[in-house]
């Protein structure tokens, strides 16, 4: 770790004109892109601060990559504006935007050595030879690639190639670095390792990164904020904790938290809580206070890990354990709730005190972990 703190200031100083840590690095206003009748991105707007690590998270076809490509300039938006460091770049060619881009397929220049690859963007900027050598050396050292400068890309492993691609994108200190599923082609173990490396480098150098992935875990591990995208819309743009604990739509609750959904109706409001009567069991369940009129049909969303098994007369409902799978530290249980043929309720409880198949249990939850969505909101 020591080399980071040594290298970071000098690389930072070399760039000369990086955006200050409090400034707005990038803003996107009402960005829209259609392909024929299909709306790929629908009025996407967001502001990203300098030094922030932002992830676009979504399934394929959610518009996350299209948004990234529009920011990079590889794809022209139908309408909307993109501003980088206060400069409108919406209609500029990619090479005039001064952004960094890391591709899933690395795309290192095969006829150049590692050193030449990383030096390439600097030579375009007319940096003197000695300084190029110094900065390339420093950047390769940060990525743990010292001594690989003379090699050709094909002589490196996938993980090393992607590290070189990362160096090539950050060596000229662009105000924003875009990454399109950079770890998608790597195996799980290497991916976990590089997630930490990229995050560390990003924090040490204060880089502003926009990262695209479909992997929730990756997004949670790396991001300061995540934009959850679906059908061209940004469902929610928030910190990982907010997304996880306070999902704003049933989709986000399901996508990130894999929540259980139970139909119910608002019964009443108390000072601190909203009380819901569940359709199936008729049980009463306390949730965080919501601004919904009594009688409103709602969906109750609770993540499997936030449900607790308890005595049969303590919970908001009772049921029979149908499946119980031991997965190391946890037991994953499927519970058939009494009074209805809803899908099995999924529970994750610490192993050891875990329920057994066939056992009758009650189920309870902390009101703070219960989210409510009006039914007409869809899901």
> For binding to another protein (CB under 8 A), which residues are involved?
72-74, 93-96, 98-101, 103, 105, 107, 109-111, 113, 115-116, 120-121, 124-125, 149-150, 168-169, 172
CB of 118 to another protein, least distance (A): 10
Residue among 331, 334, 307 at smallest CA distance from 320: 334
Contacts of 95 (CB under 8 A, 6+ apart): none
Which of 95/329 has CB closer to another protein? Answer: 95
Torsion angle, CA of 194/196/199/201, rounded to 10 degrees? -70
Which of 4/74 has CB closer to another protein? Answer: 74
According to DSSP, residue 280 is labeled T
Which of 99/205 has CB closer to another protein? Answer: 99
Which of 39/107 has CB closer to another protein? Answer: 107
Element (H, E) at 346: strand 345-350
CB of 356 to another protein, least distance (A): 51
Using N-to-C axis directions, what is the helix angle for 129-142 and 188-205, rounded to 10°? 130
Per the listing, tokens 């690859």 go with 117
CB of 203 to another protein, least distance (A): 23
Per the listing, tokens 């007409």 go with 376
Using N-to-C axis directions, what is the helix angle for 2-15 and 129-142, rounded to 10°? 150
CB of 339 to another protein, least distance (A): 57
CB of 38 to another protein, least distance (A): 21
CB of 125 to another protein, least distance (A): 7
Which of 111/188 has CB closer to another protein? Answer: 111
CB of 73 to another protein, least distance (A): 8
Backbone angles phi, psi at 133, to 5 degrees: -60, -45
Which of 170/227 has CB closer to another protein? Answer: 170
Which of 126/295 has CB closer to another protein? Answer: 126
CA-to-CA dists, residue 28 to 32, 44, 164, 211, angstroms: 10, 7, 29, 15
Q: Alpha helix locations (H) across the chain?
A: 2-15, 64-72, 114-124, 129-142, 158-170, 188-205, 216-222, 240-245, 250-257
């Amino acid at each position: 770790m020591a080399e980071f703190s040594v290298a970071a200031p000098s690389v930072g100083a070399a760039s000369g004109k990086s955006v200050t840590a409090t400034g707005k690095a990038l803003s996107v206003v009402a960005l829209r892109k259609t392909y024929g009748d299909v709306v790929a991105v629908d009025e996407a707007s967001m502001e990203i601060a300098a030094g922030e690590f932002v992830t676009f998270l979504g399934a394929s076809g959610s518009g996350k990559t299209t948004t990234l490509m529009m920011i990079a300039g590889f794809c022209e938006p139908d309408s909307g504006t993109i501003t980088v460091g206060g400069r409108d770049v919406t209609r500029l060619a990619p090479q005039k935007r001064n952004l960094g881009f890391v591709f899933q397929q690395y795309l290192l220049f095969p006829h150049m050595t590692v050193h030449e690859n990383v030096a390439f963007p600097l030579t375009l900027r007319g940096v003197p030879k000695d300084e190029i050598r110094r900065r390339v050396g420093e950047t390769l050292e940060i990525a743990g690639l010292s001594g690989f400068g003379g090699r050709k890309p094909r002589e490196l492993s996938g993980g090393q190639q992607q590290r070189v691609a990362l160096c090539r994108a950050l060596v000229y200190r662009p105000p924003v670095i875009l990454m399109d599923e950079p770890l998608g082609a790597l195996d799980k173990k290497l991916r976990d390792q590089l997630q930490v490396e990229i995050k560390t480098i990003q924090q040490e150098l204060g880089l502003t990164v926009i990262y695209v992935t479909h992997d929730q875990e990756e997004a949670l591990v790396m991001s300061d904020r995540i934009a959850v995208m679906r059908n061209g819309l940004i469902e929610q743009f928030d910190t990982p904790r907010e997304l996880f604990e306070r999902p704003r739509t049933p989709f986000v609750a399901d996508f990130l938290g894999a929540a259980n959904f139970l139909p119910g109706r608002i019964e009443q409001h108390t000072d601190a809580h909203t009380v819901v009567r569940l359709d199936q069991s008729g049980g009463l369940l306390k949730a965080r206070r919501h601004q919904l009129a009594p009688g409103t049909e709602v969906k109750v969303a609770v993540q499997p890990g936030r449900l607790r098994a308890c005595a049969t007369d303590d919970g908001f409902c009772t049921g029979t354990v149908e499946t119980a799978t031991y997965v190391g530290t946890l037991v994953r249980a499927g519970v058939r709730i009494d009074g209805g043929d809803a899908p099995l309720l999924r529970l994750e409880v610490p192993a050891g005190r875990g329920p057994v198949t066939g056992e009758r249990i009650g189920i309870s939850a902390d009101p703070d972990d219960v989210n409510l969505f009006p039914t007409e909101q869809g899901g």
